[in-house]
Chains A and B, each alone.
Chain A
């Protein structure tokens, strides 16, 4: 059983996310020290008000590779006041699929009342059902390319009535704290001309998380045959899994409008919205939670050129060839997963993230808030959607011997986008049972059979698949032998020979690119920096250079690779590779050993943050902890860089921190506390080191105890001096790379 098995239910709607971007470094570099929660050189010496003013100001820059196209950007990025809340909006169950045939593909509420029911992802539960938090989206490394996470506390199908909690209006509610990860980045999720100013709108990704059977309510009275069948299967398996794709995610306000708003003295957050398509299905026993189980298809390498055309033939484009899977340019067609069933003879193919949508709903970026579209002309999410055509496509198998054999044609949403959008991006292909043996032993391929890619292999099975659910990890300094759990399979089955994995460490690199296109001064403030990922020149972690997983191991159960910290802190990425060489090797834009986007779209890796081992002994040596010390060493960073946090509890005021101390103690946890992984955790960015957490909590406890004795609580410093440069826990043994890089990255 898997999410690709029957039954499954599909949904679509709008993905909304509201992350704070002040720490992203994609407009101004060095606002923060990304390996520690401290302010960076760009704002060193500024007082609080100066930093706030700086972050709200607009600069005039170009995006790398588009020099001479100058646009306004807010220094703090597109969402200074973001709170990281993330929701499914206007999202409904759109189909119930109980089998491969048309009769089993239910899209009418008359056939199953589940169709049309709202779907929500929830934040963590509380004792008070009316105070449920929102899911939280945050990056493990906020300047990074590949480390986005979504923390959730459950899901609900059904509106729940006006307050969202009426059990009579809830079809299913599952409470479970978990988190998913950004998988399978596809930089060609949307193709066609885009005249907006953000460089990530054409990117999509997939996220998935599981909820165990024990979290499913014992009684679900909602009279939906599809839901009841799904729950029955889920209870007999590991549980439920929810997989969704978000794409064409774009902020609601342009940077220009945002900058004008700031200049007018307003302070608005600027959530981004995108398309959402997804599926809830069975989480099979032994399956990973973070990716659909099954056989993985990825772009072949060397990758041939691939093209797309609009269905009316008036537009076209494509991507050039690429020799290696870790070099640019990105692929036109993204990963897919196949689940092969013998009886009935069906291959269910997850194409959620595979094929590009044609054209942007806002081709010139977000419309001005007061702009009036022409009457009768659809705009925004009302614009009809269409898939870019890559030609007719079929699934084939290449047996161990003999020629490729066609399995079945694939409807990936051409000509009818709803065939994709209403079914979770999953297609069910009935096949000739006589092919089962070849399919089991052969290599699956997805081929184009007509123009513009006639004869081109779009995707090809990677026989050995390596998966980890530990796609992110937070580690206290001095941690020994924490596990990175791995599953390995061959063609969806246990391995039959030992598998050796090679471990390499990588790092996010911020690129400060000079404007090399004449005239160099065309944009007042130069070119926006950008990010890439390169081989880690330092050593943040200690781990075996390779591990050999015995045949058959790591399939039903996890195989643990022990990792330990070194004295160096920071955010890093460990990839588990089948090849004994770093992904990179090439120098791009002056940066050595760069791993291009395709590498991170297909690699198995774990992003890991090792916290600073802050030494605050000098602060503890005083008679009592001082507010100014707590503020300047810990809270000031969050007050300035994540101002949304102070909407709930002002972080710049001592009496605020002390008076809300009990609430803070319920929310502020080190990474060793299980509550760290709920949506209640403070800070939502999870960047605060254990010793910083301790300093804040110790200050609160000290002041509360003092209050009981009747003494006064220190108040905010009357005239806070211009801040010194933020203290850095310790220098890196080697400075982080600063160089050039072209490819855009998603800013979330």
Chain B
């Protein structure tokens, strides 16, 4: 980013965002209570819609336990956030009410890994820089990434990683998908305490071991257009500024767009699962069901069922640059059996009780280390897990745990405890330049 970018804040302005109408009448007790989440319906034995993020899997978990853990996490991190404390739920609200969700108030990497390597501002403050083209932005979100990692980070191992790997993703409207990464308070404070926020601090470490409870969220967003008016209500939406760097003769731009969430990774390191638990959710209209004979009812965001000539899961970039040609995406590994069973139950609960867009999301699966003590990465279970919007081109082989097992600090000297985010650090000695 340009070095003269202006510091930006969003503060409480986020509350002005209009998100979704909420069918509060369906949920029983009024939302004015201190702990609305606690009052929500418990429709099956292990299901509870609440704002409390589960801390760990139960002892001797099954895949169904992991699925329940993932869904509880999904509901909790998508709970409306407190207007006064980042990362905290507003216990007086219910999912779907206006305002950013909990995970959307976690820190963004740009707030932590500052270009000059300096100490980030405190948790509850908003930091980071805006590109000058986004100077007028007054909205909470500036989307820059066409990948889960930015193209300008210092770590050369990550420089080329677009989307997850394999190129950008273009939706059926010809628009690129944008990505966002957020980190919770626990990992932020650990990074600050250990001075992992710059290269020099990282290089003093002999090992990186985050505490239990660290979480990251990685989201993919597609631009909602006028053609999406009939389906908008099926998305967790917000307005965002889309920043496009200069390229060739084209100057950088920053344009306000409404975007809808199409994918969300939620990861958490827990006491019993030091290799983290990895859940991924998708908006249900992303692609047709696995190997379906019937294309389904919705227009798909990333698949044209009528296109026989489209090569599935191949980047449409040319010479490394987006072409505007839609990517034909298919699901190559089916949704997990336990997730298939649990999804309609949770979706129905969300629909009946709350009526929010969250009912239009599905858990693809949750990967967890079944035998944490087993080297090297605790026996990832299931072996493969891919989000069609974030592991589009390696869905046949994608494994969260195996890939993140290779994560290293910026210098590649030691591993970074399954988080790739430390690779985004800059040098304090060179003022942000390598």
Contacts and interface: CB of A to CB of B under 8 A. Distances in A.
Interface of A: 49, 52, 81, 85, 87, 89, 120, 122-123, 126-134, 159, 162-164, 264-269, 639, 643-644, 646-650, 652-653, 655-656, 658-663, 704, 707, 712-720
A706 to B, nearest CB: 11
A126 B207 CA distance: 11
B112 to A, nearest CB: 22
B397 A643 contact: yes
B207 A52 contact: no
Interface string B392-410: 0110111100110110100
Contacts of B204: none
Contacts of B291: 265
Nearest to A132: B375
A653 B394 contact: yes
Contact of A719 (B167, B311, B376, B406): B311
A133 B334 contact: no
Contacts of B209: 130, 163
B166 A656 contact: yes
B399 A715 contact: no
Given A656-B165, A663-B408, 16 more contacts: A85-B374, A85-B375, A122-B375, A264-B337, A265-B331, A266-B333, A266-B336, A268-B382, A643-B396, A649-B406, A653-B166, A653-B393, A655-B165, A656-B394, A712-B321, A715-B319
Contacts of A649: 403, 406
Contacts of A704: 156
Nearest to B275: A130
Interface residues of B, number: 57
Contact of A655 (B156, B160, B335, B417): B160
B405 A650 contact: no
A131 B311 contact: no
Contact of B161 (A128, A131, A655, A718): A655
A131 B405 contact: yes
B415 A133 contact: no
A701 to B, nearest CB: 13
> Closest 9 CB pairs between A and B?
A265-B334, A646-B397, A647-B402, A647-B399, A712-B320, A659-B160, A650-B394, A656-B165, A653-B166
Nearest to B309: A719
Contacts of A650: 165-166, 393-394, 397-398
Contacts, number: 162
The prevalent SS among residues of A at the interface is loop
B232 interface: no
Contacts of A129: 207
Contact of B165 (A159, A266, A659): A659
A128 B397 contact: no
Contacts of B403: 647-649
B218 interface: no
Nearest to A162: B274
Contacts of A663: 157, 406, 408, 412
Contact of B314 (A87, A133, A718): A718
Q: Which of B318, B336, B374 has the most CB of A within 10 A?
A: B374
Contacts of A269: 383
Given A646-B397, A655-B160, A715-B166, A266 B334 contact: yes
Contacts of B332: 265
Interface in B364-399: 371-376, 382-384, 393-394, 396-399
Contacts of A123: 375-376
A643 B395 CA distance: 11
B65 interface: no
A231 B123 CA distance: 52
Interface in B51-99: none
Given A655-B167, A712-B320, A131 B376 contact: yes
Given A130-B209, A130-B417, A646-B394, A716 B314 contact: yes
Contact of B167 (A133, A644, A658, A715): A715
The prevalent SS among residues of B at the interface is loop
B155 to A, nearest CB: 10
B398 A715 contact: no
Contacts of A89: 371, 374
B353 interface: no
Contacts of B319: 712, 714-715
Contact of A662 (B156, B321, B331, B375): B156
Contacts of B318: 718
A419 B207 CA distance: 44
Given A267-B383, A662-B157, A648 B405 contact: yes
Contact of B315 (A87, A662, A715): A715
A523 B156 CA distance: 55
Contact of B415 (A49, A130, A646, A653): A130
Nearest to B408: A663
A661 B334 CA distance: 30
Given A130-B209, A655-B160, A719-B311, A164 B394 contact: no
Nearest to B318: A718
Nearest to B290: A265
Interface string B235-265: 0000000000000000000000000000000
B207 A128 contact: yes
A183 to B, nearest CB: 25
A716 B166 contact: yes
Q: Which of A52, A130, A643 has the most CB of B within 10 A?
A: A130
24 contacts: A85-B375, A85-B376, A89-B374, A126-B415, A130-B415, A131-B405, A132-B375, A162-B372, A162-B373, A264-B337, A265-B334, A646-B397, A647-B398, A647-B403, A649-B406, A653-B165, A658-B160, A659-B159, A661-B157, A662-B157, A663-B157, A715-B317, A718-B315, A719-B311
Contacts of B167: 655, 715-716
B121 to A, nearest CB: 30
Nearest to A645: B397
Contacts of B320: 712-715
B316 interface: yes
Contact of A660 (B157, B333, B402): B157
Contacts of B413: 127
A120 B332 CA distance: 36
B376 A163 contact: no
A120 B406 CA distance: 22
Contact of A128 (B158, B316, B414): B414
A265 B333 contact: yes
